[in-house]
Amino acid sequence: MTAIDHTAASSTSDPIRLDGQVALVTGAGGGLGSLIARTLAGSGAHLVLVGRNAERLTALSNELRSGGTPVHTMTADVADPQSVRELAVRVRSEVGRLDILINNAGVTSPKSLFDLSDDDWRRIIDTSAGGTFYCIRELAPMMIERRYGRIVNLGSILSLRGMAMRSAYSAAKAAVANLTRSAAFELGPHGITVNALAPTVIVTELNRDLVQAQPQLYEGVVRRSAMGRLGELDDLILPLRFLVAPGAGFVTGQVLCVDGGYTAG
């Protein structure tokens, strides 16, 4: 495990560089989480990778370390409040600080209202909405102590719109959007911004099979979008870098749609 250099500068003359800052990413083992981690590492951040799949976290951490990024990996289930409490204890003891929190972990299920089981509903709500809440509650105190922080929650176009076969996911992401706005008011006086990214369908390993299995549904998303396509992972890089940047300290409580114009109509 690579130790984090706490003597590194926490700011720089470049308003989007993250040199010396510590960033924690949940759901880091997935396609989107991996992209987020690589983006933050490329901006100079030190990484804490969190997820349930230790093998994936190890593979990503080895890749990032080979490029010179200090990385800690920690397994946790963000849907379990006790697991998140234990995660916060580990971050404090092993890392010692936290500047950036990316609440990325989430799951979905392509089922109708009547086919969603109680377990499906709880798993989706508890991971996306519950996990975001638990991580803010347990990890933001380290930011409050330093009077600085950037929190970015992963929402969705379904934070603002509905879609058939996505009732639980839409409900969870709508909760994330309003949690973002409310947390911004509570944490703003402590120098902490809280924003959400609300992407359109971004093709990742989480939903690749769903996109292929339900072409008519996703063709509808494409037709409604001004840009006429689904999202790609690279579409999120610059919006993410902006929201976590030191220079974005007056932007908070926002849900930034990265959707090719889907929500414009």
Alpha-carbon torsion, ordered 71, 76, 82, 87, to 10 deg: 0
Q: Is the pLDDT of residue 15 over 90?
A: no
Question: Does the residue 223 lie in any domain?
Answer: no
Question: Does the residue 3 lie in any domain?
Answer: no
Determine the average pLDDT of the residues in 192-221.
86
Range of the domain at 179: 22-202+233-260
SS (H, E, C) 49-92: EEECCHHHHHHHHHHHHHCCCCEEEEECCCCCHHHHHHHHHHHH
| pLDDT at residue 11, rounded to an integer | 46
Number of domains making up the chain: 1
Question: Does the residue 222 lie in any domain?
Answer: no
| pLDDT at residue 217, rounded to an integer | 77
Among the listed residues 134, 148, 169, 262, the single catalytic one is 169
Cα separation values, 204 from 43, 93, 95, 116, 211, Å: 22, 33, 30, 23, 10
Determine the average pLDDT of the residues in 14-37.
94
Of the candidates 19, 17, 81, 78, which has an alpha carbon nearest to the alpha carbon of residue 49? 78
pTM for the complete prediction? 0.92
Q: Write the pLDDT tens digit of every residue in 39-70.
A: 999 999 999 999 999 999 999 999 999 999 99
Q: What is the CATH number of the domain that holds 147?
A: 3.40.50.720
Amino acid type, 217:
L
Question: Does the residue 208 lie in any domain?
Answer: no
| Phi, psi (degrees; rounded to nearest 5) at 6 | -80, 0
Question: Does the residue 78 lie in any domain?
Answer: yes
pLDDT-based confidence at residue 8 (cuts at 50, 70, 90) = very low
Q: Write the pLDDT tens digit of every residue in 210-224.
A: 788 878 778 888 999
Question: Does the residue 131 lie in any domain?
Answer: yes
- Crossing angle of helices 131-146/81-90, nearest 10°? 30
Determine the number of helices (DSSP H) and then strands (DSSP E) in the chain: 9, 7
Polymer length in residues for the chain = 265
pLDDT-based confidence at residue 1 (cuts at 50, 70, 90) = low
pLDDT-based confidence at residue 207 (cuts at 50, 70, 90) = confident
| pLDDT at residue 44, rounded to an integer | 97
91 Cβ contact partners less than 8 Å away, ≥ 6 residues apart: 24, 48, 74, 98, 139, 142
Proportion of the chain above pLDDT 90, given as a percent: 80
Active site residue 169: yes
Question: Does the residue 100 lie in any domain?
Answer: yes
Question: Does the residue 196 lie in any domain?
Answer: yes
| pLDDT at residue 203, rounded to an integer | 85
